[in-house]
Amino acid sequence: MDRHGEEFDLIIVGGGPAGLFCAINSSIEEKKILLLEKMGSPGRKLLISGSGHCNISHIGEIRAFLERYGEAGRFLRPALLGFSNDDLISTFECHGLSMIRTDEGKVFPETLRSRDVLDLLLGLCRAKGIILRCDQEVRSIARSKDGFQVLTHDCLYSSALLVLSTGGRSYPATGSTGDGFGLSKVLGHSIVDTGPALSPVYIRNHPFSDLAGISFRDISIALFRGRKMMERSGDVLFTHGGLSGPGILDLSRHIRPGDTLKLSFLPALGRTSLERLLMERSQVDGDRPARILLADLSLPSRFISRILEISKIPNNLKSAQLTREMRRALVENLTGLPLAVERLGGYDEAMVTRGGVDRREVDPKSMESRLVNGLYLVGEVLDIDGDSGGYNLQAAFSTAMLAARSIKARWTTPRD
């Protein structure tokens, strides 16, 4: 091993979207920048983003993004307002990669190829003279008199400034195995408890396992942990093992094993309204089976059969024959069916990681550590995670740009 190694002005650890973007935008002619990637090639998680289509952001007013990150929204405000979704889209389009917007508001490259996003970033790195070295897993980082010493399996690099852009723990096969959490901790940072986020939820004794593929648009989902914790709305998909879809994925960072989810499949109708409606329909169309009345409410036929079974109502029972107890059970199961959470999908299924480096220890105006001079932290290594739909990639790019601007200002502004 060459224990003297090479000296750089800036070392960036992690070759994902945040690391690549930070390197590109930190570059100035006289500064030597090294980007270290543990895998054999960079950007592997980016390649599978959006099922390989790369949902890079979302449309809309950037201030509306802040609520999409929960408590982290306030921390992200300078980064997002300083480099917005419109700025990100313009950046890619100015370099020849056009973007499209879906009806749901998601933003994708026009080619619908994550590879094109990655190739553009890598091309810009080459054009800027960024030194990219793969198969360089960082074993340790130590502070030195002049900055940092970064040890890999075969070299000891040194630099005045350091950026950690190592990502979280989700999709570990792509290289996101939480390395940055340990490195940050050694440098003095606290790590907020981590776990899978944007993850499917597995249900104990799942009553709809054979109805996998049935989905519901914009239904109400209430989370209970002894008491009601919160209620959200969103699309829900039945899977063989439980629940998925944007509504479940976005709520998953708050869900824990043992919690109860209550689903309202007819959010426009509360319990009282639905019970009144069923009574009125029974009086007018008493000879029609109850399942036909439910079909009139645009519920899927197989779901109707199952919800009647759960409510202990014969499938062909006429609506006039519904007893008061039957009707109330049916209303309860349609407006608040309780489902017990067995577990969440693991890191191999979760799109992002909740938790990470404590935000309080990082300056939101620069992404520089409040504890370690010259250390910057960007992207998913931080305790930030957003909703599905491009919000997490936007946060990665925005925090990377903010750190890059701070680094360039540090290099170009005379310091006392």
- Per-residue pLDDT averaged across 32-55, rounded? 95
Say if residues 388 and 352 touch (Cβ distance below 8 Å): no
The two beta strands, 242-244 and 201-203, are: antiparallel
- 177 & 218 share domain: no
Per DSSP, what are the bridge partners of residue 2?
155
List C-alpha distances in Å: 153 to 20, 34, 36, 92: 22, 16, 12, 35
Say if residues 26 and 125 touch (Cβ distance below 8 Å): no
| Count of beta carbons in the 10 Å neighbourhood of residue 303 | 17
Name residue 363's amino acid. D
- Per-residue pLDDT averaged across 281-293, rounded? 86
- 272 & 257 share domain: yes
Among 295, 313, 345, identify where a domain stops. 345
- Is residue 310 assigned to a domain? yes
- 188 & 319 share domain: no
List C-alpha distances in Å: 80 to 53, 61, 63, 312: 23, 11, 8, 51
**In whole angstroms, what is the distance from residue 316 CA to residue 299 CA?**
16
What CATH number has the domain bearing residue 387?
3.50.50.60
- 43 & 138 share domain: yes
Res 3: pLDDT? 43
Per-residue pLDDT at 1 exceeds 80: no
Segment 210-266, tens digit of pLDDT: 999 999 999 999 999 999 999 999 999 999 999 999 999 999 999 999 999 999 999
- Is residue 126 assigned to a domain? yes
Residue 142 pLDDT class (50, 70, 90 cuts):
very high
Per DSSP, what are the bridge partners of residue 263?
221, 337
Segment 373-394, tens digit of pLDDT: 999 999 999 999 999 999 999 9
DSSP reduced 3-state for 110: coil
- Per-residue pLDDT averaged across 286-312, rounded? 92
- Is residue 279 assigned to a domain? yes
- 403 & 270 share domain: no
- Is residue 295 assigned to a domain? yes
Res 416: pLDDT? 52
List C-alpha distances in Å: 203 to 187, 304, 307, 343: 40, 19, 16, 7
- 148 & 242 share domain: no
Among 303, 328, 345, identify where a domain stops. 345
Residue 413 pLDDT class (50, 70, 90 cuts):
confident
| Count of beta carbons in the 10 Å neighbourhood of residue 275 | 19
Domain that holds residue 129: 7-196+351-412
- 377 & 393 share domain: yes
- 365 & 338 share domain: no
- Is residue 157 assigned to a domain? yes
What is the number of structural domains in the chain?
A: 2
Say if residues 95 and 118 touch (Cβ distance below 8 Å): no
For the chain, the average pLDDT equals 94
- 190 & 204 share domain: no
Token representation of residue 139: 């074993």
Task: Please report, for the chain, how many H helices and E strands are present, in that order.
Answer: 12, 18
The two beta strands, 7-13 and 33-36, are: parallel
- 257 & 390 share domain: no
Rounded to 5 degrees, φ, ψ at 61 are: -65, 130
Q: Which of 360, 358, 353 is nearest to 192 (CA)?
A: 358
- Is residue 154 assigned to a domain? yes
Q: Which of 299, 298, 294 is nearest to 277 (CA)?
A: 294
Q: How far is CA 15 from the centre of its chain?
A: 18
- 364 & 262 share domain: no
144: CB partners within 8 A, 6+ apart: 158
What is the full DSSP assignment across 173-203? Answer: GGT-SSHHHHHHHHTT--EEEEEEES--EEE
- 310 & 356 share domain: no
**In whole angstroms, what is the distance from residue 1 CA to residue 320 CA?**
84
- Per-residue pLDDT averaged across 54-61, rounded? 97
Question: pTM for the whole thing?
Answer: 0.91
| Count of beta carbons in the 10 Å neighbourhood of residue 45 | 23
Res 2: pLDDT? 47
- Is residue 2 assigned to a domain? no
- Is residue 1 assigned to a domain? no
| Tokens 């990655």, residue located | 118
Residue 4 pLDDT class (50, 70, 90 cuts):
low
Among 345, 360, 375, identify where a domain stops. 345
Segment 63-87, tens digit of pLDDT: 999 999 999 999 999 999 999 999 9
